[in-house]
Amino acid sequence: MNTSYLHFNERDLARAGELIRSGKLVAFPTETVYGLGANALDSDAVKSIYAAKGRPADNPLIVHVFDKAQIFDIAAELGDYAKRVIDCVMPAPITIVLPKNSLISDVVTAGLPSVAVRMPLSQQARSFLRAAAVPVAAPSANLSGRPSPTCWQRVREDMDGRISAVLCGEACTVGIESTVLDLTQPVPLVLRPGAVSAEYLSELLGVNVEVLSDPTSKVNSPGVRYKHYAPKVPMVLDLDDDVDKLCAFYDAKLAEGFRPVLWVHQPHRFGNRRAVEMGADDLQAAANLFETMRLLEQDYDFIIASFCRRKGGAYDGPAGRGVLDRLMRACGHNVI
Ligand code: AMP
Ligand code: MG
């Protein structure tokens, strides 16, 4: 298949919209990561997303809309919490899980009775969704298991020849996937942490919004079970920002013949060892997370990451939990 590289002008947007409506796959930018979109109302088109990504069929997709009114076509019912999130938070890097109506097929939701809905904040995402004029089902535009793409060049790396088009837009500013908030139960639950924090949602909804923390538990967010975001080279994670421990680990890997790299806060603390900045704060760490992962795996063969969410520390902000979640998955829970 020949993949077209389209741009944000009227003609190319119209083309992207036509492609979606004719059942083809188009990758597009959002504020979180690039998405791989298909017409959510066309089961065959949605099936081809799973094929293009090599994605397990029991990992559901998020339905993207540009207008809040579209949510009423997709969800069977909206409770008070959903109404408040839709009114006060959306558009934002948040996805809400709601009871689905019959318009949405089982292919989109992987057989679940619920549907995940998101209205992106990114103007480019919304102009693409408007051009599509149908709800767009989309996961991240990477091959299954790889770090999510945060610029179109990374989409090309994974998807060239596998999809009809890539809309080449801006680099993603948030950098990690949306917060997934389950609103199908009496108490709202964060299934996947993102830039919209549980603390913020608790305050907004006037209820203690819990975060799903046990990745092995049987919940209705199947995607969180899979190994995700993995770089091609081994990776370990330190949670203490312990400079001596990190240096000793680095030196041992070097002695074993590896070409290791430290991925840390304030790399100057590690002397002449190879060290790369994780980000001055949690938001910067999120914005650069997946791109840095893809850069490091090219230049090194062992990644030693460090991310410490000490109270009042650099990574104690709203996106800290989301970054930690991605790092834990990337290293396969291999904490040193
Ligand atoms: P991705 O687009 O690759 O980030 O994957 C979308 C993720 O959204 C899935 O892996 C799930 O974690 C979540 N999700 C989508 N639909 C549902 C649903 N109906 N119920 C619970 N979680 C969902
Ligand atoms: Mg993904």
DSSP letters for 141-177:
SS-TTSPPPSSHHHHHHHHTTTSSEEE--PPPSS-SP
The DSSP letter of residue 261 is: E
Among 172, 148, 158, smallest CA distance to 3 is for 158
What atom of ligand 1 comes closest to residue 114's alpha carbon?
A: 19
What atom of ligand 1 comes closest to residue 59's alpha carbon?
A: 10
pLDDT at site 215: 45
What atom of ligand 1 comes closest to residue 224's alpha carbon?
A: 12
Structure tokens at 25: 């796959």
Domain with CATH 3.40.50.11030 in the chain: 235-330
Q: Cβ neighbours of residue 289 under 8 Å, at least 6 residues apart?
A: 147, 175, 176, 279, 323, 326, 327
pLDDT at site 225: 52
The answer, as to whether pTM is greater than 0.85, is: yes
Q: Cβ neighbours of residue 322 under 8 Å, at least 6 residues apart?
A: 176, 179, 192, 193, 194, 195, 286
Does domain 4-211 bear CATH number 3.10.129.10?
A: no
Between 3.90.650.10, 3.20.20.70, 3.40.50.11030, 3.30.300.180, what CATH number should domain 235-330 receive?
Answer: 3.40.50.11030
Residues with CB under 5 A from ligand 2 (ion): 139-140
Q: Cβ neighbours of residue 56 under 8 Å, at least 6 residues apart?
A: 50, 144, 226
In the chain (336 residues long), the average pLDDT of successive 10-residue segments reads 97 98 98 98 96 91 97 93 97 97 93 96 98 97 94 97 98 97 96 96 97 56 59 95 97 98 97 97 97 96 96 94 93 92
- The answer to whether the CB of 192 is under 6 A from ligand 1 is yes
pLDDT at site 57: 86
The separation between CA 68 and the C-alpha centre of its own chain, rounded to angstroms, equals 21
Task: Name the residue with tokens 């199908």.
Answer: 184
pLDDT at site 230: 83
The DSSP letter of residue 3 is: P
The closest ligand to the CA of 290 turns out to be 2
Domain with CATH 3.90.870.10 in the chain: 4-211
pLDDT at site 217: 43
pLDDT at site 213: 72
The DSSP letter of residue 265 is: S
Among 273, 230, 267, smallest CA distance to 251 is for 273
The closest ligand to the CA of 37 turns out to be 1
To 10 degrees, the CA torsion angle through 241, 242, 246, 248? 180
3-state class of 27 per DSSP? strand
Q: Would you tell me how many other CB atoms lie within 10 Å of the CB of residue 108? A: 27
pLDDT at site 314: 94
Among 287, 18, 150, smallest CA distance to 6 is for 18
